[in-house]
Structure 1
Amino acid sequence: MRRFAAEAVLAYKAANIFGADGAMLDLKSLVYFIAVAEDLHFSRAADRLHVAQSALSVRIRQLEDRLGARLFARSKRSAVRLTQAGELFLAEARRVVQAAEQAESVGRRAGQGEVGHVAIGFVASAVFSGLLPGLLRRFRGMHPDVEVEISEMETPRQFAMIEDGLIDIGIVRARSDPPAGVKLHVLRREKMHVLLPADHPLAAADRIALNELSRETLISPHFDALTGFGNMLARLSGRDGFAPAAIRPVRDFLTVVGLVGGGYGVALVPDAVRRLAGDDVVMRPLDGADDLEAPLSLAYADRQPGPAVAAFLECARAD
């Protein structure tokens, strides 16, 4: 009964890797013990570890004293062998050393941006333009073990969540003056086009001037006069006689295409919308407005990013 109780106590200590005084054992002691347990020879183990045999012997004795148990049976007449307590301890020591090696590897890889987590917000046009899928594919090829979480959301919400630290990166239809604390990097510039119902009188034209849209209802994906297309429309007001009859703000380009196709108005859209256009709409170049662009931009906090986020930013900027 006493023998069983002693082994149970040692097994508990081994599982927790604590010494008799409750302090955690150092990894070097465990590595030394494992080497001797594998070689069952102090001299060979010392050679493998590149330490003096005397130092190895002292370390093992200190380990046994802290555990309060003999780990090796050794004598001049017989080979070194593990005691029953040593066998119990060996399995746990290996587990702890392997876990420490894994933790070190993960920590090192995390520091290099090879593992971690990146939360990304995006506007829908970043997907159907092909920009976001291409960027994700390239980043995954370079950092396959980084977890990437993506969430579709409008530009103002992305800015707010970046400022609050709720997402790391946004892909937005940028404005020229982002909120304080948010930086922008243009990833792609797209020329503007006019989106018309297929049966619209202007659909027969090769190009359309701004002033030809003055009597039209303009359908536009924007939320305020400062953000994305709202900002662009504010800058266009009065240019070349441009004064649409009404502006109908909607949430996204899918809604724009649906309403234009249904005959409820026309729209100024970037080239990417071409991928959404069906037979009920047509796109025509905007004449005299070659300077008008709708950039897709990277948005991120103006502070030092974590390694995984920094790796994503570097990948995106390199395109």
Structure 2
Amino acid sequence: MDVRFLRYFIAVAEQLHFTRAAASLGISTPALTVQIQKLEDELQLRLLNRSTKRAVSLTAAGEAFLVEARAVVERMERAIHVGRQASRGEIGGINIGYVGSAAFSGLLQQRVGEYRTASPDVVIKAYELPMEKLPDMLLVGEIDIAFLRMPVVLPSLLSSQVLSRDKFCVAVPAQHPLALRGAAVSPGALAKETFIVPEQPRGLQEVAHRGEFSPIVGATPGGLLAVLTHVSLGAGIAVIPDTLRSVITLPNVVYLGLAGAPIRSEVAAVYRKGERSPPVVNLLKFLKH
């Protein structure tokens, strides 16, 4: 049944007058009369008592049908509204995977917070995950966007957008001679140190290259908080993103700058090329601007 029939009947039932109902619908009175007759014929019910030429009253069947007709129209309008919201990306869900350094930088909170304000009905779930797992999880659809620290070799079906840039520094135990000196450290001065290596080793690799040494690896515990915990326990030193200076304070850990040209670090959003999910597409627009 065409939902227009229901709208026509509701208008007549509320006005109890064909002419006034027709005016409210923006159609002619004869056209409305024909539509109501078609509805009664299709239902094989008499919905209206025609007491005069234009005035009407509801039959018992008409009163019962009015309740259900209103409910159907309301559900239809709700379905249309929800469908349009979904097509605009205003409802739905997004699964985000991230590495700890993206959260420590504040970037993840800022960008996702802006998106939540604009699309409060989109459900966002965020998971801290090992960086090496994120590309494959994107490919199979387990997550929708990954925030990670570059460089990372990406499959051809994925693309990336750099969101922020910082530099690397060195974290050392508080009683280490370098900490007591308190000055920026040249890469060559670290040649004999034992390194605690985070999941993104880019900083250490460049330090070793500039200092012309092969690093001695003491542990690779994964996330940056675990790395700094190892440093605080005196297990070694670590080359880490400089942004951690302002967000993580641990006992027995001192941060030192690296002498020479800054070693740059980038946090990027990684996503599927040709992404079609409206909520994800909208979030990507936020990230790219």
Instruction: Give the TM-score of the pair, scaled to structure 2.
Output: 0.93
SS of equivalent to 1:287: coil
Q: Are 2:75 and 1:99 aligned?
A: yes
CA gap of 1:186–1:152, structure 2 versus 1, over 3 A, is same
Letter of the structure 2 residue corresponding to residue 41 of structure 1: H
Structure 1 unaligned spans of 5+: 1-24, 223-228
CA gap of 1:159–1:125, structure 2 versus 1, over 3 A, is same
The answer as to whether partners of 1:210 and 1:242 remain within 8 angstroms in 2 is no
Deviation at 1:285, TM superposition (A): 0.6
Counterpart residue number, 2:238:
267
Structure 2 unaligned spans of 5+: none
In proportion to residue count, which structure has more strand? 2
Q: Please, which of 293, 304, 312 is the counterpart of residue 264 of structure 2?
A: 293
Moved more, 261-270 or 93-102: 93-102
Q: Are 2:254 and 1:278 aligned?
A: no
Distance (whole Å) between structure 2 residues aligned to residue 156 and residue 82 of structure 1:
69
Q: Are 2:181 and 1:221 aligned?
A: no
- The percent of aligned pairs where both chains have the same amino acid is 39
After superposition, the CA RMSD in angstroms is 1.7
Q: Are 2:184 and 1:207 aligned?
A: yes
Counterpart residue number, 1:74:
50
The answer as to whether partners of 1:214 and 1:242 remain within 8 angstroms in 2 is yes
Query: How big is each residue's C-alpha offset from its partner over 1:1-57, in whole Å with a ceiling of 9 and x where there is no partner?
Result: xxxxxxxxxxxxxxxxxxxxxxxx111101101100100101111111111211111
Q: Please, which of 226, 236, 251 is the counterpart of residue 255 of structure 1?
A: 226
Counterpart residue number, 2:88:
112
Query: How big is each residue's C-alpha offset from its partner over 1:222-272, in whole Å with a ceiling of 9 and x where there is no partner?
Result: 2xxxxxx23554455443223222252112011111100000000000022
SS of equivalent to 2:265: coil
Tell me the matched-pair count. Answer: 287
Distance (whole Å) between structure 2 residues aligned to residue 197 and residue 155 of structure 1:
26
SS of equivalent to 2:188: helix
Distance (whole Å) between structure 2 residues aligned to residue 53 and residue 79 of structure 1:
12
Q: Please, which of 139, 145, 152 is the counterpart of residue 169 of structure 1?
A: 145
Instruction: Give the TM-score of the pair, scaled to structure 1.
Output: 0.85
Structure 1 residues 25-104: aligned runs within 5 Å: 25-76=1-52, 79-104=55-80
Query: How big is each residue's C-alpha offset from its partner over 1:177-225, in whole Å with a ceiling of 9 and x where there is no partner?
Result: 3222111111111110000000001112310111111111111122xxx
Distance (whole Å) between structure 1 residues aligned to residue 214 and residue 54 of structure 2:
101
